[in-house]
Structure formats: C-alpha cells, structure tokens
Structure 1
Amino acid sequence: MTDELRDRYDVVVIGGGAAGLNGALVLARARRTVAVIDAGEPRNAPADGVQGLLGREGTPPGELLATGREEVRGYGGHVVDGRVAKADKGDDGFTVALEDGREVAARRLLVATGLTDALPDIPGLAERWGKDVMHCPYCHGWEHRDQAIGVIGTGPNAVHQATLFRQWTDDLVFFTHTAPELTAEERERFTARGVRIVEGEIAAIEPEGARMQDGTLIERQAYAVATRMEARAGFLAALGLEPVEHPSGAGQHVPADPMGRTAVDGVWAAGNVTDLMAQVGPAAVAGAQAGALINYDLIEEETAEAVALHRLGA
C-alpha cells in the first residue's frame, strides 16, 4: 500500500528505515501530520535478519520495515514510495521535490536516508555482500563463528576490524591488500593473537577462497571488509547541507548535534546518514529522539505565535 501524497505536512521524513519510521511514529502519535518518503533501498536488504535488536532478533529486514510502516499508518501518518531529488527552504518552510515531479511542503524535515557501502573493486566480492561478506562482527559475527574468516585490509580501520573479528574465530587471516603499512606493534599484536598476515593484493574472491595476485589461493569461508560509507544526501545541496568526512575516516556523513539538529534551522538528521556506525536499534532511538524534538520545536513556534496574537487582543 502506498499513501497519496498531500500538498503539505507538519513534517516530511525523507527515508523509511528504522530511524525515519520511528521518528514518524513519534510525530504521528503527537498528532502531527507526517509523511515518510521512501525510495525502498534499505542498506540491510541483503541480510537475512536484523541482529542485536532485543525482541526482534533475527527478524528479516523487510518484515521489520513493513511492520513499522503499518504502525505509522495506524496513527494517521503517510508512507509514500518515491525518491527525493531536491529540498529547498523558503519563507513558509520547506519544499521537497520528488524525481517523478511531485512536490510537497513541510514545516520541518527529518532526513533519515541512510548510507551506501562502497565495496573494494575485487571481482566476486559484491555478489556475496550481506551473506558471507560482512562489515560488522556484532551484526554477523555469530553467524560466522568458528569459520575461516579473512579480513580484507582497505583503509585505516582495517586493523581494528581484524582485532574485533578475532573474538568470533580462531582461524583469522588479515589480508594487507590496500591497507596502510602495518606497524611493528600491529604485527606483534596479530602474532600474539594467532592472526595470520597475508601480504599483497587480492585478485578475486572465488568459491573456495581468496585468489592472490600471484595466483596463490587462501581458503576462506567468510570475509570482513571495512566499506567506505557515504551518506545519501545529494538532495540537500540546495539547503547548503553537504556531506563531510566523518571523524573516523570511514566515509562521509551529514553533521548533526547529539539531538539530531543540523546546521540548517528546521532540518534534523537521524540514523546512518549522520551516524555511520549506528545499528538498527540506535538508529531507531535517534529517530524517536529527533521526532520528539521536532514536535517540541513546532510547539515552541506555535506558542510564540499564540502569545503574539494574544498581545494583539486577538
């Protein structure tokens, strides 16, 4: 079911993942008119289940989102299929333009469009993404426990990632691939923990393992790779909101304060679009928090207007 998009809402939520839907749920329960515009491309779509989420452990991502959409609709919110092309700000709030030509006005915006994972250009890797190629041990480590795992070094966080994955298996290989040169201390730590180091770049991921540039095959069952994470936020350019490098070096995000406020008054951000490391649970919490603060911001605006009218004797 797709709801018809009205001309104007109190809040338009851009992105219908955990953060966006939870924000919309809070706003709808606060009796705000709210629309969620969702392009239908959740980051965790390839995964079999959502892990580490109390009460919903292992729930397929699509099922969790479908439940969330119905909960939002149950309080009068709208969930609309569509992709946002541009957002502008005027004297009377915001205008959101969709790629199909539709437009909608809003008093406030909640941006929860998430991110994209840029995988290293290794043949055979992308096809296994979300299955036996993973990025987060807390999301997928249990499912690959005690397997032969290879961590593919691609950036400054690769050593940290390998240190984490060692918790889930005794058979861990660190492929240096394109990672920065290992320090003597890092090599010592790997040796002490029984992590095998394989020098050189990977040519391809094959069914039996990783084929190195020199032809050597390193048998592995699963792989971990630190993707470059980039916020889906190009449509914010007209507002002056540009993604910037995340302090971790892991990619680009839309900066926001701990409450979700961005540098543009009236625009909040929640979930992976601003917090690259957030799992489903924290993303949902951030969306709920942003929704509550947006509602309070609207209450303050409405109260100020009421006081002004009261003083005029209206």
Structure 2
Amino acid sequence: MTRQPTDRLTQQFDVAVIGGGAAGLTAAVVLGRARRSAIVIDAGSPRNAPAAGVHGFLTRDGISPTELVEIGRKEAERYGSQLRRGEARSARRTEDGFEVTLADGSLVVARRLLVSTGLVDELPDLPGIRERWGRDVLHCPYCHGWEVRDQAIGILGTGERSVHQALMFRQWTSDLVLFTHTAPQLTEEQAEELAARNIRIVTGKVDSLDITDDRLSGVRMVDGTVVPRQAVVVAPRMVAASGVLASLGIRTNEHPFGGEFVPADPTGSTEMPGVWVAGNVTDLGAQVVMAAAAAVSAAAAINADLINEETRAAVASHRTNTRTATAVDAKRSAA
C-alpha cells in the first residue's frame, strides 16, 4: 500500500538542517542565536553510535556519542530550533526555497538547506568486522589509539594506505602486525620501514576475526592459523551520505585517498545556490570537533546569505515606496 503524505508543515523555516549529529545541532544553535527559524531533521542513526566515547573535543573528551547528541538537542531547542525525527529522502527547489520530503511522506519547507548527514563506512567483507566495528575494529588512531595503547594490534591490509596505517599506529603500541591480506605487494622501501619499526608482517589472506567472550581475540588466516590480537585496524571506504543532495543534482567527487565526498567552498556552500554542507559529508576525515566547527562557519554563511537577500528585498520595496510617494506629491503639487 502506498503511503500518503501525512502532513505539510505550514511554517516556512529559514533553514532546514538535515542530519542531527554534532554538525547539524551546532548549526541549529548558531542559527537560533542569530534569531533564525531552523528545523533539524534527523533519522537517529549516527555513524559513531558503536563508539564508547568522543575524543579530542575540549571539555567533552570521553563523552558518549548519545549523551553529546542529547545535550546538543536541548541546546538547539533552547534557542528555538525545532527537532523532527525522520529520514529526509529527497528535496526539490521551489520558488521560495526548498521542499524536503521525509520517508513518511511529510514535507518541510525552508529558504535554505544545510546537509550534515555524514558518511557511510564501507567495511571489508570479512566475518567479525561489522560486528566489532567501533569497538575493537578501528580505523582512526586519533579517535581510538589511546584506548588500545600497548595492546596487540593488527593492521588489515586492503589497499595502498595499509603501510601508512601501520606506521601511524606504531606510535601507540610496539606489538603490531601488518596482515598483507589483499594489499599491494610491499616495496623494498616499505619492507625496510616496517622492519626498522619492528612491525611484523604476516602474509596470506585473512579468513575472519575470532571473537571470544564478546571481545576480539585474534585474526584467523585462511590456513586456520590464528594470530592473537586485541584490536584490528581497517581502512573503510568512506562515502558521503548524499541521497538528498543527489536528488537536487549535487554530485559527489572521488577523494584522492578513496571514497566520495561532496565538494564545497570553505563555508560549506555547494555548487547549488542555497545549499550548504558541513561535517563528514564533505570532509571525510573530520572528527566530531572539526565537524562542529565547520557547522559554525556554514551557519554564519547561511545567515549572511539570508541577510543579503532580505536587504535586497528591503531596498526594492523602499525604492517602490519612494517612487510612489514622489508621484503622489507631484500630483498634489499639480492640483
């Protein structure tokens, strides 16, 4: 049965923010403080949900992603922003701005759009990877390195950056193994670098991860050998969650290190006037604090853009009123 639209919000918002993570909620706070009407549309499935804590965010280090969002929602509401749970499926340009269609068929109308939907991690297709992702299957040393310091760590080789990851994580542990798996053959220079840093190399393909008592215990090779490890580092292909942007004809670009991002200028403005992006949808490597900072810039740019539009409209109205008043005065003088 086809679901019919359930409602159309009668209010036209200044800004519809699509994505209610750190970036989206930060933008809503800034916009609210600028006395702009904003609505945050959030599907409630953040990328960092499996992680135990957010790190590198001054005064919030170690806070759970869920708690950070809960605090952010309260702050956004304090400044008048509305929160709407739902998945934004598509958007279209209208005469007055944009119309966003949600999964339940409801519509949201806004003068500007800010998309902060993050990205999707395309993980290696091996048993155990997805189940342990964000806990003891990791990718970012600055996000998780401290938590696995001095542990037995394995690097799953899947691409050109595997050696780089191994050399990076060597900063956090001396017990490091690079599983070559499907990575390109090591050059002599790479092999020398790994040997110099005491990083062991295990050749052959990986079959799966061994899980014991709900913890990663080792890496199982296709020959049945199990190499004990407490954490595994992978290199996911990061792809911008850009379905709404695609519906507007806004394209993604291939990132030099792999993955896809939405190009934008330093304020987050995209190729389509009136549409901004912030966070991982445009900056694949941004940590939470960086995504929030980018949202501040985007929100300020959006407010400035609205001010310019309103000023142009006010000037046009002022000129019309001035011409009308002059014409009336001329008639009176002639009489």
Residue 191 of structure 2 aligns to a residue in which SS? helix
What letter matches 2:131 in structure 1?
Answer: E
Q: Which residue is equivalent to 2:182?
A: 178
> 2:271 maps to what in 1?
263
The CA deviation at 1:156 is 2.3
Residue in 1 aligned with 2:292? 284
Match of 1:242 in 2: 251
Give the C-alpha shift of residue 6 in structure 1: 5.0
CA contact (8 A) 1:152 1:225 kept: yes
- Matched with 2:220 is 211
Distance 2:298 2:129 in 1: 36
Please state how far the C-alpha of 1:292 moved relative to its aligned partner: 0.6
- Structure number with greater Rg is 2
Q: Using the TM superposition, name which of 235-244 and 50-59 deviates more.
A: 235-244
The CA RMSD over aligned residues, in Å, is 1.2
Find the aligned partners of 2:25 and 2:9 in 1 and give their Cα distance. Answer: 16
Q: Aligned partners of 1:69 and 1:198: how far apart in 2?
A: 47
Task: Give the letter aligned to residue 57 of structure 1.
Answer: D
Instruction: For 2:247 and 2:130, locate their aligned partners in 1 and report how far apart those are by CA, in whole Å.
Output: 33
Measure, in 2, the Cα distance between the counterparts of 1:113 and 1:62.
16
Q: Which amino acid aligns with 2:297?
A: Q
Distance change (3 Å), C-alpha of 1:6 and 1:18: farther
Tell me, which stretches of 5 or more residues in structure 1 are unaligned?
Answer: none
Identify which of 43, 55, 67 aligns with 1:51.
55
Contact 2:9–2:109 (Cα < 8 Å) also in 1: no
Could you report, residue by residue, the CA deviation over 1:185-208 in whole angstroms, capped at 9, with x for unpaired residues? 111110100001111110010033
AA matched with 2:246: A
Aligned equivalent of 1:226 = 235
Q: Report if aligned partners of 2:53, 2:61 keep a CA contact under 8 Å in 1.
A: yes
Distance in 2 separating the partners of 1:200 and 1:165:
21
Q: TM-score, normalised by structure 2?
A: 0.90
Shift of 1:43: 0.8
From 123, 133, 152, the equivalent of 2:137 is 133
Cα distance in 2, alignment partners of residues 82 and 14 from structure 1? 10
**8 Å CA contact retained: 1:203, 1:213:** yes
- Name the CA distance, whole Å, in 2 between partners of 1:190 and 1:5: 59
1:81 to 82, 85, 105: 85
Task: Supply the distance in 1 between the matched residues of 2:83 and 2:158 (Cα, whole angstroms).
Answer: 38
Q: What residue in structure 2 maps to residue 310 of structure 1?
A: 318
Question: What SS does structure 2 have at the residue aligned with 1:312?
Answer: helix
When structure 1 is superposed on structure 2, of 180-189 and 54-63 the one drifting more is 180-189
| 2:98 aligned partner, one-letter code | F
Counterpart mapping for 1:146-161 below 5 A: 146-161=150-165
Report Cα offsets for 1:241-290 as digits up to 9, x if no partner: 122211222x1111111110100000000000000000000000001110
Question: Which residue of structure 2 aligns with residue 98 of structure 1?
Answer: 102
Structure 2 residue aligned with 1:198, among 175, 199, 202? Answer: 202
Contact residue 171 and residue 195 of structure 1 kept, 8 A: yes
8 Å Cα contact 1:176-1:199 kept in structure 2: yes
Sequence identity of aligned pairs in percent? 59
> Tell me, which stretches of 5 or more residues in structure 2 are unaligned?
1-7, 212-216, 323-335
